[in-house]
Amino acid sequence: MSLSYEIENNGAWQTYLAQVDRVAPYLEADLIPYINTLKRPKRALIVDVPIVMDDGAIQHFEGYRVQHNLSRGPGKGGIRYHPDVELNEVMALSAWMTIKTAVLNLPYGGAKGGIRVDPKKLSARELERLTRRFTSEISPIIGPQNDIPAPDVGTNADIMGWMMDTYSSIKGHTVTGVVTGKPVHLGGSLGRVRATGRGVFVTGLEVAKKINLSIENSRVAVQGFGNVGSEAAYLFNKANAKVVCAQDHTGTIFNDDGLDVKSLQEHVAQTGGVAGFPDSSKIEDAEFWNVEMDILVPAALEGQITAERAQTLKAKLVLEGANGPTYPDADDVLGQRNIIVVPDVLCNAGGVTVSYFEWVQDMSSYFWTEDEINARLDKLMIQAVDDVWKKAQEKSCTMRTAAYILACERILKARKERGIFPG
C-alpha cells in the first residue's frame, strides 16, 4: 500500500489530521504556508525482519520506523511489538510524539516504530534475535543525533539493552544514547519507571491550584493501577488526598474514607490486581463513573470517557494518564460542563521527559541522583502546564486545544526559521 493511500484512508492518522485542522484557525498567518509539514511524515521506513526460530524454521516479520517531524531535533518515540501494528497506526503515533515533545519544549521531533508480532508467542531467544535484526535494519536512520527509540507496548528495558548493544556493535563502540528506557546499569536513568505517574500528579497539582481546588481531602478515582495509575495514586495519597476508588482489569474497589495506596500497591504486586483488597468494598465496574470524586485519573486504556459518561461525571478535573482516554464528543461535553481536562500530550509526558534526561546523561556520561531528576522533571512539567494554561486563557479554549496550538506553533516556527532546503 502506498504512503499516499495510508495518509488519505487511515483512522488514527485521520484523527490526527482532524486535530491539526482544528488548530489551524488559531495559528498566525505566517505559519500557515508550512502547515502541510505536519500533515506528512518526514520519513517512513518499512523493513523485513527474517529470523531463525528455535525449531530451525525461518519466519518473516514486518517492522516500521516512522520519523514524523525532525524540525526541532532528533526523533523520539517508542517501539511497539503487537499483532495489530501497521504503518498508518505508527504514523499517527509518531505524529502525537511530535506534539508531545513540542508541548514539553524538549529539543526533539517525533518518531515511532514497531513490529507486527505477538511477543508472547516468541521464546526469549527468538525475541532477542527479532530485536537485533530489526535494530540492524533500522540502524541507517536511528542514532543519538537522529532518532532515539524507547520502550512502548510489548517492549521493555531488556529489549532496549539488546537494541543498544546491536547498534553499538554496528558502530564499533558503545553508543548508550541511541535508545532510552535501558536498564540503569547500562546507562538508563533513575526515576524513569515512576516518571509518568509523577508527571500526572505534578500537572494535576498545578492545575488544581489554578482552579482553586484543594488537594487535601479531595476525592480521587483512578482507572488502571499499573505503572502510571498506581504511582499517581500513591503521590495523591501522600499529599493527603483520598483515593476513594480504583479500577483495573480485575475489578473496582471503593472506600469512602480513602484507600491505603501503599498497602494496595503491595496487594497488587502479590495478587496481580486490585480485586479482593481488604478494607475496601467491591462495586460494579460501571459504577466507577458515578463515584463522588473531584479528580479522575484515567490511566488504563484509550476510549474510556464517552459522551454519556461525561454527561454525569462528578469530577472537576480529569488527568489523562493514559493516551487517548477521552472521545472527542466527550471532550466537548466536559468542556461545556467546565470540567478541566489536562490532555494526555501534557499530562503523561513525564516519561518522555525523563527519557530526555536519560539521553542528556548518556551524552555527557554523567549521571544524576533521583532527587535531581525528580526536581528537574517537576520544573519542566510545571513550566509546560503554565505555558498551556496561558495559551488556553489567551485563545479562550480548552487545555487540549491550547496544547496543540502551542506545539504546532513551536514546530512550524522551527520549520519556518530553518527554511525549505534547497531554498
* 355 assigned binding-site residue: yes
Distance between CA atoms of 77 and 95, rounded to whole angstroms? 10
Nearer to ligand NAD, 53 or 153 (CB): 153
* 203 assigned binding-site residue: no
- In the complex, what is the shortest distance from the CB of residue 187 to ligand NAD, in angstroms, rounded to a whole number? 18
Say whether 379 is catalytic: no
Nearer to ligand NAD, 33 or 276 (CB): 276
Q: Which residues contact 234 (CB under 8 A, 6 or more apart)?
A: 197, 261, 262, 265
* 39 assigned binding-site residue: no
Query: Residue 52's closest CA among 106, 116, 125, 1?
Result: 125
Nearer to ligand NAD, 166 or 223 (CB): 223
Question: For binding to ligand NAD (CB under 6 A), which residues are involved?
Answer: 196, 223-229, 247-249, 299-301, 321-323, 348, 351
- In the complex, what is the shortest distance from the CB of residue 80 to ligand NAD, in angstroms, rounded to a whole number? 10
- In the complex, what is the shortest distance from the CB of residue 225 to ligand NAD, in angstroms, rounded to a whole number? 4
**Residue 277 vs residues 81, 262, 274, 384: alpha-carbon distances, Å:** 32, 12, 6, 37
Task: Count CB atoms within 10 A of the CB of residue 87.
Answer: 21
* Region for 165 from its dihedrals, namely left if φ exceeds 0, alpha if ψ lies in -120 to 50, beta otherwise: alpha
CB 55 within 8 A of CB 399: no
Distance between CA atoms of 21 and 19, rounded to whole angstroms? 5
Q: Which residues contact 141 (CB under 8 A, 6 or more apart)?
A: 43, 45, 65, 67, 147
* 36 assigned binding-site residue: no
- In the complex, what is the shortest distance from the CB of residue 43 to ligand NAD, in angstroms, rounded to a whole number? 24
Burial class (CB within 10 angstroms; exposed 0-12, middle 13-18, buried 19+) of 286: exposed
- In the complex, what is the shortest distance from the CB of residue 224 to ligand NAD, in angstroms, rounded to a whole number? 3
CB 110 within 8 A of CB 407: no
Distance between CA atoms of 12 and 32, rounded to whole angstroms? 23
Distance between CA atoms of 102 and 110, rounded to whole angstroms? 9
Residue nearest ligand NAD, Cβ-based: 226
- In the complex, what is the shortest distance from the CB of residue 209 to ligand NAD, in angstroms, rounded to a whole number? 23
Nearer to ligand NAD, 132 or 199 (CB): 199
CB 241 within 8 A of CB 219: yes
Q: Is the dihedral of CA 69, 75, 77, 78 positive or negative?
A: positive
Q: Is the dihedral of CA 353, 358, 361, 367 positive or negative?
A: positive
* Bridge-based pairing state of the strands 219-223 and 110-116: unpaired
Nearer to ligand NAD, 174 or 273 (CB): 273
- In the complex, what is the shortest distance from the CB of residue 322 to ligand NAD, in angstroms, rounded to a whole number? 3
Select which of 112, 182, 316, 413 is catalytic. Answer: 112
Task: Count CB atoms within 10 A of the CB of residue 42.
Answer: 17
* 395 assigned binding-site residue: no
Nearer to ligand NAD, 51 or 97 (CB): 97
For the beta sheet containing 147-151, the strands, ordered from the edge strand earlier in sequence to the opposite edge, are 43-52, 58-69, 110-116, 75-82, 147-151
State the distance between the two ends of the chain, measured CA to CA, in whole angstroms.
31
Nearer to ligand NAD, 147 or 248 (CB): 248
Which residues does the annotation place in the binding site for substrate? 76, 100, 355
Positions annotated as catalytic residues are: 112
